[in-house]
Amino acid sequence: MDIPSFYEDSATSWGPDTKDSMPRSPTLYSPLARPSTPPTSLKDDRFQMVLFTPRLVRITLTNVSVTDEGGYFCQLYTDDTHHQVATLSVSVPPDTPTVEVRQEAVEGGEVELTCLSPRSKPPATLRWIRDRREIPGVVSQQENGKTVSVSSTIRLPVERRDNGAAVSCEASHPALGGQKRVRHYRLDVYFAPTVRIIPPPGILREGDSLSLTCSITGNPLPRDVQWTKINDTLPERAEISGPTLQVSRLSQSHNGTYLCQAQNNYGRAADHYTLLVYDPGAVIETHSAVPYAVIGGVLALLVFTIICVLIITIWCSVRQKGSYLTHEASGLDEHGEVQEAFLNGNDASQGKKEYLL
Q: Is 259 exposed, middle or buried (0-12, 13-18, 19+ CB in 10 A)?
A: middle
329: left (phi over 0), alpha (psi -120 to 50) or beta: alpha
Position 39 scores a pLDDT of 44
Of 57, 71, 47, 70, the C-alpha closest to 12 is 57
List pLDDT tens digits, range 287-315: 544 556 778 888 888 998 999 988 998 88
**What share of the chain has pLDDT > 90, as a percent?**
50
Answer whether residue 10 shows pLDDT above 80: no
Start-to-end CA span in the chain (Å): 151
Helix (H) or strand (E) holding 340: helix 292-356
Highest mean pLDDT among 71-75, 106-110, 344-348: 106-110
List pLDDT tens digits, range 67-100: 888 887 777 777 777 777 888 889 999 999 999 9
Q: Are 43 and 54 in contact (CB under 8 A)?
A: no
Answer whether residue 20 shows pLDDT above 50: no
Of 226, 230, 259, the C-alpha closest to 243 is 226
Position 327 scores a pLDDT of 52
Position 9 scores a pLDDT of 39
Q: Are 175 and 122 in contact (CB under 8 A)?
A: no
State the SS3 of 243-255. CEEEECCCCHHHC
In the chain, domain spans = 2-88, 98-187, 192-278
Superfamily of domain 192-278: Immunoglobulins (2.60.40.10)
Query: Is the model more confident about 338 or about 112?
Result: 112
Helix (H) or strand (E) holding 25: none
Overall CATH class of domain 2-88: mainly beta
Position 35 scores a pLDDT of 43
Query: Is the model more confident about 47 or about 328?
Result: 47
Comparing 2-88 with 98-187, is the CATH topology the same? yes
Q: What mean pLDDT, rounded, does the chain reach?
A: 80
Given CATH 3.30.470.10, say whether it is the number of domain 98-187.
no
Position 29 scores a pLDDT of 40
What's the pTM? 0.62
Answer whether residue 332 shows pLDDT above 90: no
